[in-house]
Every structure is written in C-alpha cells, then in structure tokens.
Amino acid sequence: MVRRGLARALAVLGLAALAGCSGTEAAITPPPGAPAQASCGKVNIAVNPWSGYAADAAVVGYLLKTELGCQVVATQLSETTSWAGLSDGSVDVILENWGHDDLKRKYIDGQKVAVEMGLTGNKGIIGWYVPPWMAEEYPDITDWTKLNDRVELFRTAKSGDKGQFLAGDPSFVTNDTALITNLKLDYTMVYAGSEDKLIAAFRQAQKNKTPLLGYFYEPQWLLTDVKLVHVPLPRYTPGCDSVPDKIACDYQPYDLDKIGRKAFVDSGSPAAGFIRNWTWTNADQNEVARDMTQNHLSAEDAAKKWAEAHRTTWETWLD
C-alpha cells in the first residue's frame, strides 16, 4: 500500500501452518481426454504487513493447498522487499499491490522479471482521517485549509509545538511528509509503529474523545466499527504525484492488482492460473481479516470458514 502494519502472531502462525503443508490432497482431475494438469509444487507468497493482505494470503494459500495440492510458503515482507524478491526468485507473487509505478518500471519494464496478473477486485483508498466525534464537534476539521487553526488540538508530547500527524508502520510508503511540507501545515509525523497500534489509537481517540489526525485506508475492517471521517486534501489529478518531493495533492484511488514473478507465471503451474482468476471484494477481505484479528481465528480457520460460505465464488478461480 502505499500503505499500511500487521505483525500479528495469529496471522503469522496460521500462514506458517499453510507453508508447512505438502500436496497430500489430490489435485483436480481433468475430464477424460484432457491433458493432465501440471504439478503445482511450491508457491512463494509475499505477505505485506497489514491485515487485509494477510486475509488475501490466508484464502489464496488455503485454496492452493486444498484444491490444487500446492506447497505454500508465506513470508512476511515489506512492500519494497517483496518486489526485490521477484527479482532474486524468493517471491513468486505479490497478492495486493498499491500502485508502485516506479517499481513496475524497474522490475516489469526494466528487468523484465515480473508481470502484472490482473486486478484483485479490491478498491483501495488512502487518506487523512479523524475520529467521528471530532467531525461532529468541529465541523471545519475536515477542511484541510483550517488545520493550522487547530494545531493546538493535535499537540502531543511527541510533536512539541507542532500538531501531531499519526502515521502507521514506518515501512509503509506514503506521501505524508511531502504533503505536510508542501501544504505548509504546522504538523509533524509521529509513527504509531504498526497497523495494530494505528487501529488502537483511532479506537482510543473515539472512545475517550481525544483529538487525532492520522493516516488510514480502506479496505480495512475497522471502518465497519468506527466510521472514521476522511479529510479531503487538494484533489488528485493524474500526474500530481509524479515528483515525490513536490506532492501537494490527495492520494489517488487504487484498483489493487497482483504482481507475479515472470518465470513462475510462465511455468505452467496451475497456481499461476488460479491467482490470475482470483478476485474478490472489499467486504470479502474485511470478513476474513476481522475473523483473524477480532475473532481470534487462525489464518487457516478463517480461510476455511470463508471458503465454505463462498464456494460458488472461488470455484470460478479454478483454471
């Protein structure tokens, strides 16, 4: 994502369980007269540090294992490290890519080691948010041009004389430092440290009615519980974010996509066809992410629960 951090033990343990499974289940049998399906073998999935991506990896990994007999290896990586893995062969697929036109130019157009594998179906939105109580009590708080008039509300021990802008995981690639500078806002970046801590901060701010301005995004299950209010920045237009240090516009809306290692995609593995076909909705992702983070299900149990309830959806992903 330009985004978003999850280092959640349940998710890691669940995904590790998927990684340890071999292809003991029978692969799908082709109809009489059809060529035999290629063996799936091992599939290396990068897992980036936010709960929505963990939900992607849980469901895709579970179905690759149970339906195609794949050995799934899921590895927690940052976004940029995931792309480097496509080059050195340690990563076969990135399941949720948020833009990264610069990395596409490097690894797809330049090195030619990666290829686009189509859209996930998820719609991504990144932006600045406040808890709903603030929008009710301070109606002008959603006007970015008035933020300097409200600096005193957002001062913290960590921000000093400036207002605090709360970011998430330091590994998230964001525009916020440039936005604060170029919009001439009297604020400073403070990192929550992870997606979990960012969520906890917004929950606490709403519960205790304490001021908070910070980075957030969707799809994200929290938004079904706490209706964070978006603070629109100057309208995004194509190209307004082309020079990173000069960005002074809001984030672009993203149609999230999948990126594969070219050699993996060209290998004939049925996993590549499955991942190409895989698409779902923000609601699907939030359902699984909520089960993993709030209902304390392992990645495998959350994926199994979703798969049992949505068979007609995932059967169309089988190539």
What's the gap between Cα 164 and its chain centre? Answer: 24
Asked if pLDDT for residue 32 goes beyond 80, the answer is no
Half-sphere exposure of 217 (CA within 13 A, CB side): 30
Coil vs helix vs strand at 64: helix
Q: Do residues 59 and 223 touch, judged by C-beta distance below 8 A? A: no
Half-sphere exposure of 53 (CA within 13 A, CB side): 33
- In this prediction, residue 165 carries a pLDDT of 98
Asked if pLDDT for residue 146 goes beyond 80, the answer is yes
Report the pLDDT averaged over residues 14-19: 43
What is the share, in percent, of the chain residues with pLDDT greater than 70?
88
- In this prediction, residue 203 carries a pLDDT of 96
Asked if pLDDT for residue 36 goes beyond 50, the answer is no
- In this prediction, residue 15 carries a pLDDT of 43
Report the pLDDT averaged over residues 208-226: 94
User: Can you tell me the distance from the alpha carbon of 82 to that of 75, in angstroms, rounded to the nearest whole number?
Assistant: 9
Confidence bin at 305 (pLDDT 50/70/90) = very high
Q: Cβ neighbours of residue 266 under 8 Å, at least 6 residues apart?
A: none
* 246 DSSP assignment: G
Beta bridge partners of 231: 128
Asked if pLDDT for residue 227 goes beyond 60, the answer is yes
Beta bridge partners of 190: 166
Closest CA to 214 of 268, 313, 147: 147
Helix H or strand E encompassing 79: helix 79-88
What is the share, in percent, of the chain residues with pLDDT greater than 90?
84
pTM over 0.75: yes
Q: Do residues 173 and 230 touch, judged by C-beta distance below 8 A? A: no
Confidence bin at 2 (pLDDT 50/70/90) = low
User: Can you tell me the distance from the alpha carbon of 121 to that of 217, in angstroms, rounded to the nearest whole number?
Assistant: 16
- In this prediction, residue 183 carries a pLDDT of 98
Domains and CATH numbers, the chain: 9-122+256-317 (3.40.190.10), 125-246 (3.40.190.100)
User: Can you tell me the distance from the alpha carbon of 150 to that of 127, in angstroms, rounded to the nearest whole number?
Assistant: 19
Torsions phi, psi for 58 (to 5 deg): -65, -50
Asked if pLDDT for residue 58 goes beyond 70, the answer is yes
- Other C-beta atoms closer than 10 Å to the C-beta of 302 total 27
Amino acid at 237: T
Confidence bin at 37 (pLDDT 50/70/90) = low
For the chain, the first-to-last Cα distance in angstroms comes to 28
Q: Exposed (0-12), middle (13-18) or buried (19+): which is 208, by Cβ within 10 Å?
A: exposed
Give the mean pLDDT of the chain.
Answer: 89
Task: Compute the radius of gyration of the chain from its Cα atoms.
Answer: 21
User: Can you tell me the distance from the alpha carbon of 251 to that of 176, in angstroms, rounded to the nearest whole number?
Assistant: 10
User: Can you tell me the distance from the alpha carbon of 120 to that of 319, in angstroms, rounded to the nearest whole number?
Assistant: 16
Asked if pLDDT for residue 116 goes beyond 60, the answer is yes
Residue for token digits 């330091």?
A: 170
Asked if pLDDT for residue 35 goes beyond 50, the answer is no
- In this prediction, residue 1 carries a pLDDT of 64
- In this prediction, residue 18 carries a pLDDT of 44
Closest CA to 172 of 50, 8, 2: 2
Amino acid at 286: N
Comparing 27-36, 56-65, 302-311, which segment has the lowest mean pLDDT?
27-36
